[in-house]
Structure 1
């Protein structure tokens, strides 16, 4: 009896709980629903945090981790599913059936809600990312390739000699020598390009050494191109890090341009000769002797161009025709003056392109006086230096060579015009940064030669180094930006010196002697980059007008008050205790720059107010977060914001503050340029993520996390603002112009971004005729959940310059252009046109049924991108059922449309309401996914565009009924198709048909397809025929999911492809293969093609019940001979739910996997695996096909922890087959990867916790 009771008790224990759970689904819907809603809200909060981290990383040019992208995608999907489920639950609550609830529906909803809650909680745990992104690889030198390179006969021979030397395994160092300007840099850039195209090296790095090598800069440039982060401070530690990185590359080319003397490669971190035989050095130099010093095995001279070549080059550059003899005679004289130097020919040719004969008398003398002055000033900077235009302008202001100027802004604008003229004349070059320029070293040599003569009208005589016993009496300008500290004397006697530039960065000079400046009494401009600077040094500069201090540390700077003539004062990246009160004595100060200045104590009250003539103020640093509103100021000794408003001459302001609300009187009526940010992350463009200039060249306003009333304080700036970001503020409207007369708002606005404004109901409160967006280019709204209408028709008509419109997650938005006044426009036969709109993206706006009314039907002549995603109510893009008019008659031609993406639109029918077709002659990307109500008219549009799509289309993702048209396109040939996705095509049996797919384009040798995704094609039997497979030389990603009938990837006709026929290389660029739920598939590839998979990085196979082997061997005789296969790039292997899986490689095959870093193998669902994985001391993983074993054998060696690794301190006891003893491997020697350990725990592995 007791036994029976015990049995019944056990049965009850395992049955009552499930029954109780099932019953709870009926009676606890509200509780389950509340749990779901709470879990969803928590998930959305976590998502917002992760998304913010991702955005920060994106702004820092980092690449989001794939696992983070997948998590965000999953979260979006789950949140959307929960939203749908919530609607169903609400409907169920309201529904009654003869006074009884729908119990079956309630049960299903409760169960589904419980499952969603479980999924959400799992996402909670997964969302705790330690890292969301990694640094993106920097672009190579190819983006800076010269377009002026001509492969003349003299260059062709030199080029071929260099390429031959690079291909010679016994040649480690090649030197290209020739006179300055002969074209060495341009030539090696072409070598860089050709070597990269030919895949001669795994990596290619190019950097400029110059006359005075800056080791840290060179190291930084090499590290950037190798995507290496250098955290070390010392140059030796950085060199060691670079050396390790270079040694990790099998074959690497390092190009050192402009080498002047013997360079110690080990100081930079470049291994050489026996240290790394895969590293080759290609250097350029003006001196043949340098090639000997650098032990160059090959010296290749580059000579001048012949007269014939020079003439041909200048005619091409200057666009000269041959039938004009007078000009040809002059050109020939110019060519002879250029002495066969390509740089001289190109510079002169570009300057004189399409100019009349008289303009060919151009020379330096012809430059205007001020232009000459700026040109000569640029020569003060080192070779290949990024010259800041702003810094240059401040020097010009201090030297007072432009005569009387009304304001600094006037002088700055004149300098910008001059710089542009010099660039147009090719005397200055573009820099990588928009706000900087460069001067070619040969042009710099010419400028220095001019000033060295001492005969120029500015009395400007320059020296760039101090020699012993040299007389400096006549020197008016000295640049010591590249000198070493030990080369400085204790004192320099320069009675005429006007400008002194000392130090390139603060690491060059820790400090200098106070007596150094004892006899420089007339100095007007001083630039110091020192680590330490004493107050006594500043006492000597009574005539100083411009002082630029960078990276300096101050203990006190009270003597600043003695610089009575000072007009420009710049502290950049400086550290100080506090700004001294004596600063207020600088009555002539017109510019104060505290950019990124680290100040320990707040600015004293009244200090800025005393600078009565101040025109420009730059304060950007978190240390100024103590600035706050008036009430809190009463409790603090800090400067009041209202002081700034009292500066009547202030016209330029850069101000970044942390505030909760803006005080009264925060008004700047005279500002011409500004960058004002409240609670904003500094330094990145509010729309593009690109870094903005540190000194504002426009009018930027960022407002984040302020109360509802604070933005009204900026109403005056709304009239002039060009870039406006408002984020997380409690406002109900952007601007209130109701009642009274108001100036036209936002007429200068170029870019507007409204983010996370949960209370925003309308853009404008009041009559919209006073609101115009006539200069708006970008409009971006996100998470404005109460906004129901965006623009009135009157305002929409002003959007003549709008190029980019992005709306996302505006849940209540029903109309982009409101119905107000729309009837009036129609009666007046007026149409709304967006003539410059290029990008239209709408995502997650749940109430939108259409995008634009009929009046905008033909108003998109420039539209390039149309993306509609996650719009559950959307029925068409143009038109609404309430409108009587439809678009009929002529086709709507979207001639510029390149991207058409329609995703997750459950009610979407067609683009236009009516019977017309739309034409897309330029379409390159077409994605139509999860649009179940798509009407036949859209399919008709697709057919009508068939011919154009065949020529242009690069990306095609379709599903369901549109697959038939996609297959028709494939049979006709898609010449440029790179990405193909086919989903849910139930009738599809064969994807590619060679008879049509290859013959149309007549390109049998190679297709452009690089990514293929096929999913839920239940009847698909054939994927690649032999002919197609041989043509897919560029395929990189292959993803097959839920294709029940698919047995093999490669077939020939109706038979499985015999291995004897696989003689060609298949899939040489294949990187990633994923197969999921293909239950009839037995293998992935024939083993005979394995040797060609040199770039394969990841293989994943899941849920294939008949899958036996990854690489199949059909001919048993091949298994009698041992064969070696190398997969050099394979890093990730995943196998799960494969009950018949026997091996990765066939019997007697030996696979070597030198890069493998992760193996996920679920032996519980893959019980028959026979391969043996081993790791030797060289860290290389080997896989051997064995005779069938009862259990998986795992042989671990000392260095296996790179692959099988855990963080815990447990030890693993691994029992080998038929071995009763346990061998314990400590964590120092080997340990299983956590996920593998969990898969294998209890099967043949056990954890020891003692």
Structure 2
């Protein structure tokens, strides 16, 4: 063959097709290598896009079809590449050129596919919104036939609009809640939308609620709203449930298509009126009362089966169930009020009361009101009854936060004044439980986070019927003007106009001498109250204007001498208050987040205050001597520079949020505190940058009185010779920008702070160790659950132990970090070794470890003098550490060489989250995988894992040979990771 080479060279020089042929023949290896690189680049881009795809899917987005097609093209390319590799290994001399020509074409194709994979507009589009909300509901007794009939029509195409009618309390809403949840499970519709309409129909509110349910922002021009909503709905296959419709309305005016069934969409309304259902063109289903058997079963579920064991009670129970008329709401409410009663005379009396009520009234609504009022009357205590009636002042279907509701009851003096505020809150919870247990309030979840309560709309109607002309409630109905003066009757005691769109209170002067409560909160557009409005409200006790746009208050406020609560929270435009000197009965003054820049005139006269919130950005200092005049204060929230000894004189203070700009003032406060100081506090100490306190995350929940007892030191001079006194019941300690601090051992009584749970140290440049045991034993560290260390540039070790002569190893400090669950080390550039091995016995509860941006860190777990120990370790015992570890994040640790020695293992069975990113010198992972009885490795509970670079992951070794095989399929290359800037 060698004689052909000169000939080939001659032909090659001649150019043309023959030259290209020979070029492809000779450069086959080079072209195959080039193709390999390009396919590798293509797969790297594919990995990046898959990571983005996974992130988008978690955000409920839908991956574009073109992206999925591109992934499929890449998969096909990889298959073809494998075939090319196979042909390349066995290609004959005479076939090289043909294969080379194919490889050249493939290189061009791969380059084109790579360019197509840029997707500058992203890999996903917004997917469908959440299909709906699963609603909490009670067991459905009876009514199964009508439920199934409604479901059958919703699944079919015959009917587009369905009306579910029946008297109040008969179970319409309960049936539809069950159907709502069932439709969500069946997932046959793009959206299942639940909206409560209620008696005070307002088209703008309904449109706004509908837009919210569709996760869509409406334009500013309200005339466009129907068209916008119509366009959105016509693109979906939906079920729209409008609960509690009281009157006919035009669907097109709202933006609801009339021919909903054109694409299988459905509209369901529930109403007490069959005429409303018929007039809107619905297929009507009437909900019938429960049968006698169903009624008895429901009654016994509430009151208990034990009542049937007594023959006398059994007969009375059957008679009382009969008086309930088959209405589930009445049955549940009456049964709840009789729970625990075993005296026959009391049951007879209850039967007589019910009979008298039902026979003396006419009309279905009135009948059920009287049935429900039976349970209200059985509360006996007038204050508990008034607590219940107070709830009717809020909008229909309002979800009450428990603590806020109890605070409102305290403002209204509905809770007996007890020795302290906590006792009053405890009493309030007892009242709440009684109302819930009697089914006059029901439990709900607020934002799926915490438990609250709500009032059934029929129960609310009953409550309002009890108060009659004494209450005027027009809450949450998008009211733009306050009721005209003739509607303000002299008999009025409470008026609620909250959660509306009122912009101005005109020049009227209602004559309401008995009015005690006026609720105007959450009228965001309310800017003006003209001067004469309060002139004839001399009995007013509670005035709530919070979260309004009010700029100033009329001077007539100064004459409301019986006022006990003035709530102006969130009035961001309010800059001036009239004199408060005459308001000597005031017990609550809330100026949180107002724009006032001076202490209100006459505030020193308010010696009956029990609640004072002066958190306003424009306020700087309290005049000397004022704070001590408020000797009855139970709650104080004021980020003003406080004087320690003066604040400590407030012996009844239970909740305090305050600031001491001078360390000595804080120490004076701590030393002067009585033995029983505040039970809940957040105290800022030092001179932080402007706006620090206002931007603190705590302020998102200013009403959350369950905040941990926290002291935050910012920019304080705490030197080696200083020992700062801490409250013994401190739960959270935060230290920031305290330059002279060497360790936490500079805090005296630190070893007595046995309730300390969370400790955060940040930006303290001179801190060398967290704890110096030569200065303090720090026994409180055994209770710390969360330890955060951030930007401590001179930190060298967690615990400094005093040297002990003639010992070969460091002694184990007692009680160090034995309760620690979460550990964070971020931006600490000097530390080289993190956990000394002698501390590991204290980390049995550690679940979360996050270590980031530590430039010199070499080891996570370090043994003393490990490099000098020439011990034969072949027979050494393996130590298991961090047995409960669920999360491990090791991010940007360029010098990290080892997590621990080969004698130490970390069990991986509890691991859920793993990130090892940019730790290029790490060579071995010490995870251990438990084995099943079959000898196979146990499956892990890992939910996600990120590693980077992936090439490092392929090379890293594992102490347990099973670990890599199990972890590799679930970890992703986090190549899109961006370093977080250190603040």
CA contact (8 A) 1:768 1:792 kept: no
How far 1:806 moved relative to its partner? 3.4
* 1:809 and 1:844 in contact (8 A); partners too: yes
Matched, 1:593 2:604: no
Moved more, 315-324 or 554-563: 315-324
1:552 and 1:153, CA in 2 relative to 1: closer, same or farther beyond 3 A? closer
Offset of residue 381 of structure 1: 3.2
Alpha-carbon contact 1:899-1:925 (below 8 Å) kept: yes
1:526 matches 2:508? no
Checking the alignment, whether the CA contact within 8 Å between 2:925 and 2:957 is kept in structure 1 is no
Provide closer, same or farther for how the CA distance between residues 206 and 615 of structure 1 changes in structure 2, counting only shifts above 3 A: same
1:543 counterpart residue number? 539
Which of 715, 722, 731 aligns to 1:738? It is 722
2: CA distance between counterparts of 1:891 and 1:312?
A: 60
Note closer, same or farther for the CA distance 1:431–1:198 as it changes in structure 2 (3 Å cut).
Answer: closer
Which of these residues, 636, 650, 660, is aligned with residue 633 of structure 2?
Answer: 650
8 A contact 1:656–1:676 mirrored in 2: yes
Instruction: Rate the CA distance shift 1:331–1:961 in 2: closer, same or farther, 3 A.
Output: farther
In structure 1, distance between residues paired with 2:320 and 2:859: 65
Contact 1:573 1:595 (C-alpha < 8 Å) held by counterparts: yes
Quote the residue 2:256 is aligned against.
Answer: 270
- Aligned residue in 1 for 2:739: 759
Deviation at residue 374 of structure 1 after TM alignment = 0.8
Superposed, which structure 2 residues align to 1:792-941 within 5 Å?
792=772, 797-799=779-781, 801-820=783-802, 831-832=814-815, 834=817, 836-874=819-857, 876-882=859-865, 892=880, 896-905=884-893, 908=896, 915=903, 917-931=905-919, 938-941=926-929
- Alignment partner of 1:672 is 2:688: no
Q: CA 1:821–1:750 in 2, change beyond 3 Å: closer, same or farther?
A: farther
What residue number does 1:1222 align with?
Answer: none
- 2:730–2:755 CA contact under 8 A, matched in 1: yes
2:133 paired with 1:145: no
Q: Compared with structure 1, are the counterparts of its residues 748 and 585 closer, same or farther at alpha carbon in structure 2 (3 Å cutoff)?
A: same
Contact kept, 8 Å, 1:183 with 1:342, in 2: the verdict is yes
Q: In structure 2, which of residues 961, 971, 982 is the aligned counterpart of residue 981 of structure 1?
A: 971
Q: Which residue of 1 is the match for residue 29 of structure 2?
A: none
Compared CA separation, residues 357 and 478, structure 1 to 2 (3 A): same
Taking structure 1 as reference, are residues 606 and 337 closer, same or farther at Cα in structure 2, changes over 3 Å only?
same
State the shift of 1:190 in Å. Answer: 3.7
- Encode CA deviations 1:101-144: one digit per residue, 9 max, x unaligned: xxxxxxxxxxxxxxxxxxxxxxxxxxxxxxxxx99999775464
Does 2:415 correspond to 1:415? no
Relative to structure 1, the CA distance from residue 524 to residue 777 in structure 2 (aligned partners, 3 Å threshold; closer, same or farther) is same
The equivalent of 1:609 in structure 2 is 604
Aligned twin of 1:748: 729
User: How far apart in 1 are the matches of 2:335 and 2:831?
Assistant: 57
Hey, what's the Cα distance between the residues in 2 that align with 1:663 and 1:275?
A: 70
Unaligned runs of 5+ in 1: 1-61, 67-133, 452-461, 464-474, 630-638, 680-695, 712-719, 984-1012, 1016-1038, 1040-1250
CA distance in 2, matches of 1:308, 1:894: 59
User: Which protein, 1 or 2, shows the higher relative CO under an 8 Å CA cutoff with sep ≥ 6?
Assistant: 2
Equivalent positions of 1:757-796 (< 5 A) are 757=737, 759=739, 761-762=741-742, 764=744, 766=746, 768-770=748-750, 772-792=752-772
Counterparts of 2:414 and 2:197 in 1: how far apart (Å)?
Answer: 34
CA contact (8 A) 2:905 2:927 kept: no
Counterpart in the other structure of 1:204? 192
Structure 1 Cα separation of the partners of residues 927 and 574 of structure 2? 71
2:544 and 2:679 map into 1 onto residues whose CA distance is 20
Aligned alpha-carbon RMSD (Å): 5.3
What is the deviation of 1:795? 6.7
Taking structure 1 as reference, are residues 929 and 387 closer, same or farther at Cα in structure 2, changes over 3 Å only?
closer
Residue 941 of structure 2 corresponds to 952
Of residues 247, 268, 282, the one that matches 2:268 is 282
1:68-107 map, 5 Å: none
- The question of whether the paired residues in 2 share the 8 Å contact of 1:894 and 1:921 is answered with no
CA deviation after TM superposition for structure 1 residue 654, in Å? 2.7
Please say if residues 149 and 187 of structure 1, whose CA atoms lie closer than 8 Å, have aligned partners that are also in contact. Answer: no
Report the 3-state secondary structure (helix = DSSP H, G, I; strand = E; otherwise coil) of the residue aligned with 2:463.
Answer: helix
Deviation at 1:244, TM superposition (A): 4.8
Asked if structure 2 preserves the Cα contact closer than 8 Å seen for 1:924 and 1:949, the reply is no
* Whole-angstrom distance in 1 between the partners of 2:879 and 2:333: 51
Q: Does the CA contact (< 8 Å) of 1:738 and 1:765 recur in 2? A: no
Contact kept in structure 2, 1:207 and 1:257, CA below 8 Å: yes
Note the alpha carbon deviations across 1:626-684, whole angstroms, 9 max, x for none.
x346xxxxxxxxx7476445544433223357xxx8789884642422334799xxxxx
Matched, 1:372 2:355: no
Task: Summarize deviations over 1:222-281 as a string: whole Å, max 9, x none.
Answer: 33333333573x75455555445445x433333222222224444444344279857532
Q: How does 1:40-189 map to 2 (within 5 A)?
A: 142=133, 144-146=135-137, 148-149=138-139, 154-155=143-144, 157-169=145-157, 171-189=159-177
User: What is the TM-score when the length of structure 2 is the normalising length?
Assistant: 0.65
Contact 2:821/2:846 (<8 A) preserved: yes
Contact 1:215–1:235 under 8 Å retained in 2? no
- The answer to whether the Cα contact below 8 Å between 1:177 and 1:285 also exists between their aligned partners in 2 is yes
Indicate yes or no: 2:279 matched with 1:293.
yes
Supply the distance in 2 between the matched residues of 1:933 and 1:942 (Cα, whole angstroms).
Answer: 27
Residue 446 of structure 2 is matched in structure 1 by 432
* 1:226 matched to 2:217: no
How big is the shift at 1:375? 1.4
Shift of 1:503: 1.4
Q: Is the counterpart of residue 619 in structure 1 residue 614 in structure 2?
A: yes
Please state whether the residue corresponding to 1:379 is helix, strand or coil: helix
SS across alignment from 1:583: coil
Partner of 1:261: 247
Q: 1:275 to 1:798 in 2, by over 3 A?
A: same
Q: Return closer, same or farther for 1:496/1:341 CA change in 2, 3 Å cut-off.
A: closer
User: Helix, strand or coil: the match of 2:823?
Assistant: strand
> Structure 1 residues 533, 321: CA separation in 2 closer, same or farther (over 3 Å shift)?
same
SS of residue matched to 1:960: helix
Asked whether the 8 Å contact 1:137–1:227 carries over to 2, the reply is no
Would the alpha carbon gap of residues 802 and 563 (structure 1) be closer, same or farther in structure 2, given more than 3 Å must change?
same
Partner secondary structure for residue 950 of structure 1: coil
Q: Distance in 1 between matches of 2:298 and 2:961?
A: 51
Change (3 A) 1:366 1:250: closer
State the TM-score, normalizing by the size of structure 1: 0.53
Deviation at 1:536, TM superposition (A): 1.8
SS of match in other structure, 1:371 = helix
Instruction: Give the structure 2 partner of residue 491 of structure 1.
Output: 486
Residue 806 of structure 1 aligns to a residue in which SS?
Answer: strand
